């Protein structure tokens, strides 16, 4: 079973920030939080990952709470091409990724 829970679906207006939450209340101290997204029938695309500190790259920002029990992926200016299923995964070295159903994000014009 996935160690994370996410809302089933979310909508976001084009140009606005999309904030996707993830709960990982049972995460262990050495597990990273990874975010991937999958556009219909393509392979999942890596977005970002982090352990304790907030992270930012050209695609998104990852905010991890101090107790590490939850995190938020932020797409600062969502576009129609960001419509996808977003997966949040808690993973440790040597473990396989366990994907849950993810959040279906719809960016609306």
Partner 1 sequence: KAGVTQTPRYLIKTRGQQVTLSCSPISGHRSVSWYQQTPGQGLQFLFEYFSETQRNKGNFPGRFSGRQFSNSRSEMNVSTLELGDSALYLCASGYGGLDNEQFFGPGTRLTVL
Where does this chain bind partner 1 (CB under 8 A)? Answer: 32, 34, 36, 41-46, 49, 87, 91-101
Burial of residue 1 (number of CB atoms within 10 Å: 0-12, 13-18, 19+): exposed
Which residue lies nearer to partner 1 by CB, 5 or 14?
5
Q: Least distance from C-beta 48 to partner 1, angstroms?
A: 10
Q: Least distance from C-beta 13 to partner 1, angstroms?
A: 28
Which residue lies nearer to partner 1 by CB, 3 or 44?
44
Q: Least distance from C-beta 78 to partner 1, angstroms?
A: 22
List of residues 6+ apart from 85 with CB closer than 8 A: 37, 38, 102, 103, 104, 105
């Amino acid at each position: 079973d996935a160690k994370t829970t996410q809302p089933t679906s979310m909508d976001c207006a084009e140009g606005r920030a999309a904030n996707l939450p993830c709960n990982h209340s049972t995460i262990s101290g050495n597990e990273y939080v990874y975010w991937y997204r999958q556009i219909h029938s393509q392979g999942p695309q890596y977005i970002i990952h982090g352990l304790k500190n907030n992270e930012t790259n050209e695609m998104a920002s990852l905010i991890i709470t101090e107790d590490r029990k939850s995190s938020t992926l932020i797409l600062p200016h969502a576009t129609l091409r960001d419509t996808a299923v977003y997966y949040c995964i808690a993973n440790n070295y040597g473990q396989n990724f366990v994907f849950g159903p993810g959040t279906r994000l719809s960016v609306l014009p």
